[in-house]
Amino acid sequence: MTPKRTIAQIVATDMCIGCGLCEALTVGRVRMVMTPAGSLRPSPADGFTAREEALLVAACPGAVAEARVEAGNSTDPVWGAYRSMARAWAGHPDVRYEGATGGVLTALGMHALHTGRVGFVLHVGADPERPMRSRWVISETPESVRANTASRYGPTAPLAGLAAALDRDEPFAVIAKPCDLGAVHALSRSDPRVDELCALRLALVCGGQSRLSKSQAVLDEFGVGEDDVALFRYRGHGNPGPTVVETLDGRRFSKTYLELWEDEAGWDVETRCKFCPDALGEAADVASADIWPGGAPTGEDDGFNGIIVRTAAGEELVASAVAAGELVLDRPITPREFDDFQPHQVRKKEALAARYQGLTDSGIAPIETRGLRITELGRRLDPEHFGHERAGTRRRAERL
Ligand SMILES: Cc1cc2nc3c(=O)[nH]c(=O)nc-3n(C[C@H](O)[C@H](O)[C@H](O)COP(=O)(O)OP(=O)(O)OC[C@H]3O[C@@H](n4cnc5c(N)ncnc54)[C@H](O)[C@@H]3O)c2cc1C
Ligand code: SF4
Ligand code: SF4
């Protein structure tokens, strides 16, 4: 059980994504704390017992990532193992409207509770005390799942709630980012309660988590102090919906999704995201994505998700939600259509082998991947492009 690396090294090299597992597995002795740079990190990042460290390093997204593959699936080099891919949206118009895209994850979480498949859903929502920030939430009712709908940009640590979830000793669902669900899957190797109790795993397809500085920049632009914020909605209420800030004294500010993301230099995305080997939810039962042709919206629409159903449990949940009218399933999507919807994901997958070489060149251990086809996809890069990615990573890593 001797770990090859330590959590302190993972944090020092900025490969921590702040998933929260460090807090969960130390029963809160270690806390997820916001750093001055605007990331959630375990504090302290050392002083773990040998057993804690071994369990953490074996599951930490900064150290490992593994696809959860069931027999009999189709496999695509970019999109991984799947049973079906289709357009879908929430059957209830308000759930569809309020959700990040078409409200699919919310509808599936609500359906899992309505039908008694699970006793609660672990996910994230706005921190009521500081609504720009997010915190983990246990939703015991469909209404609570709905109240915590839509994408939260900025740091989130959903797995800080995993110990509380497992301790309840009843089946539950998790809605989270692919890296979070990768950690849940990896933890199942050492904790049998994970597969016994974590009955449904629902992922949002993810382009990267911005640091809190991105959210702070929005407030600065509006001239609002964080203490004055009553509501910070990143998207939803339309697809993609505006980013909306409301203040305690009744002022309201908003900007469109395209305005929010127009300045790529200001995105301030976490380092781990640049090396993310699974942003597509390959450890999930169902992954839910945006499907704008070319990868960006051209305006508002009614909300259309692309879903990737990866397991029998996911297939069964989707079929049941459709039969109950909680989900609308439209036409199938092909992997090559998904490439067009998510060109940034394809580019990143293909660049990773080179970026991992650049990390190794700099003496930083890259993420250990299993079943994610990183080497195979890396062969698609021509030698010049490969060398460029490798050298660029080495330069940036040496500045860490
Ligand atoms: C940081 C980030 C980057 C994204 N990048 C892409 C991308 O590149 N391509 C793409 O197709 N889609 C991306 N999305 C996903 C997209 O915004 C939608 O979440 C996705 O289409 C699912 O939509 P939905 O309507 O089904 O979700 P909803 O029904 O609105 O449900 C969203 C659920 O996710 C949970 N959640 C929200 N934010 C977080 C978070 N930060 N961490 C953990 N759980 C969270 C909520 O608690 C809620 O249960 C991103 C989302 C986030 C948060
Ligand atoms: S990614 Fe998660 S498990 Fe890894 S160091 Fe950060 S909080 Fe801990
Ligand atoms: S890009 Fe990957 S590492 Fe970054 S938040 Fe998304 S799933 Fe996690």
Residue type, 250: G
More confident call, 396 vs 173: 173
Q: What is the mean pLDDT of residues 341-360?
A: 97
Please tell me the predicted confidence (pLDDT) of residue 232.
98
Q: Which ligand 2 atom sits closest to the C-alpha of 7?
A: 5
- Residue 98 inside a domain? The answer is yes
Q: Is 7 in the pocket of ligand 2 (CB under 6 A)?
A: yes
* Long-range Cβ contact pairs of 377-382 (< 8 A, separation 24 or more): 377/77, 377/78, 377/349, 377/350, 377/352, 377/353, 378/350, 378/351, 378/352, 378/353, 378/354, 379/353, 380/350, 381/350, 381/351, 381/353, 381/354
Could you give the C-alpha distances from 199 to 84, 125, 186, 256, 387, in angstroms and in order?
20, 21, 15, 36, 43
Pairing outcome for strands 305-309 and 286-290: antiparallel
- Residue 3 inside a domain? The answer is no
Q: How many domains does the chain have?
A: 1
Rg (CA), the chain: 20
Q: Give nearest CA residue, ligand 3 atom 3.
A: 273
Q: Is 342 in the pocket of ligand 3 (CB under 6 A)?
A: no
**Test site for ligand 2: of 7, 156, 270, most ligand atoms within 8 A of the Cβ:** 7
How many angstroms separate the alpha carbon of residue 144 from the centre of ligand 1? Answer: 17
- Residue 90 inside a domain? The answer is yes
- Residue 32 inside a domain? The answer is no
For residue 125, the enclosing domain spans 65-400
- Residue 14 inside a domain? The answer is no
- Residue 166 inside a domain? The answer is yes
**Test site for ligand 2: of 60, 64, 136, 181, most ligand atoms within 8 A of the Cβ:** 60
Q: For 354-389, what is the HEC assignment? A: HHHHHHHHCCCCCCEEECCCHHHHHCCCCHHHHHHH
Convert the pLDDT of each residue in 230-285 to its tens digit: 999 999 999 999 999 999 999 999 999 999 999 877 889 999 999 999 999 999 99
- Residue 368 inside a domain? The answer is yes
Convert the pLDDT of each residue in 205-224 to its tens digit: 999 999 999 999 999 999 99
**Test site for ligand 2: of 5, 6, 9, 10, most ligand atoms within 8 A of the Cβ:** 10
Q: Give nearest CA residue, ligand 2 atom 1.
A: 16
- Residue 221 inside a domain? The answer is yes
